[in-house]
């Protein structure tokens, strides 16, 4: 099995960090763009897509700034993180995604993120 590699993508998002953070950290926010259904108990989020469930543990959170999750069945070093970046001069907001995938799967994973973030942007009306 080939080892997963870390990759990063950035998206410009016209939203305030505070509003955006709700969509990254709250189950009802995540349900609007990331998964069909999201529930949380004891820092473990259960994401549902097409009836299939996947669980992720919330590893870190910084209000209006960052959320980091780890899929419970994934390799120890792997996680996925959504970080809100704000330019100090222009106040432009970007969303930085860090994720892990095998070399062969990175392009596909990026495409999935592209689609999800496009959906998030439309939900935000940004």
Contact by Cβ (8 Å): 14, 108: no
Rounded Cα–Cα distance for residues 40 and 54 (Å): 12
The reply to whether the predicted model has a pTM over 0.95 is: no
**Mean pLDDT across the stretch 34-57?**
96
Q: Which residues pair with 4 in a beta bridge?
A: 102
| pLDDT score for 1 | 65
Q: Could you give the dihedral angle defined by the CA atoms of residues 120, 122, 123 and 126, in that order, rounded to the nearest 10 degrees?
A: 90
Mean pLDDT of the chain: 96
The fold of the 4-124 domain, in CATH, is Alpha-D-Glucose-1,6-Bisphosphate; Chain A, domain 4 (3.30.530)
Rounded Cα–Cα distance for residues 49 and 6 (Å): 24
* Secondary structure element (H or E) that encloses residue 122, with its range: helix 106-124
| pLDDT score for 61 | 97
pLDDT at 99 over 70: yes
């Amino acid at each position: 099995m080939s080892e997963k590699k870390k990759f990063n993508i950035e998206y410009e998002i016209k939203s305030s960090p505070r509003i955006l953070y709700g969509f990254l950290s709250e189950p009802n926010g995540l349900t609007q763009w990331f998964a069909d259904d999201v529930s949380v108990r004891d820092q473990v989020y259960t994401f549902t897509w097409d009836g299939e469930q996947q669980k992720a543990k919330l590893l870190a959170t910084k209000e209006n700034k960052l959320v980091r999750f780890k899929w419970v069945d994934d390799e120890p070093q792997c996680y996925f993180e959504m970080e809100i970046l704000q330019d100090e001069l222009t106040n432009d907001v970007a969303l930085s995604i860090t994720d892990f995938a095998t070399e062969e799967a990175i392009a596909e994973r990026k495409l999935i993120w592209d689609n999800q973030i496009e959906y998030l942007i439309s939900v935000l009306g940004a």
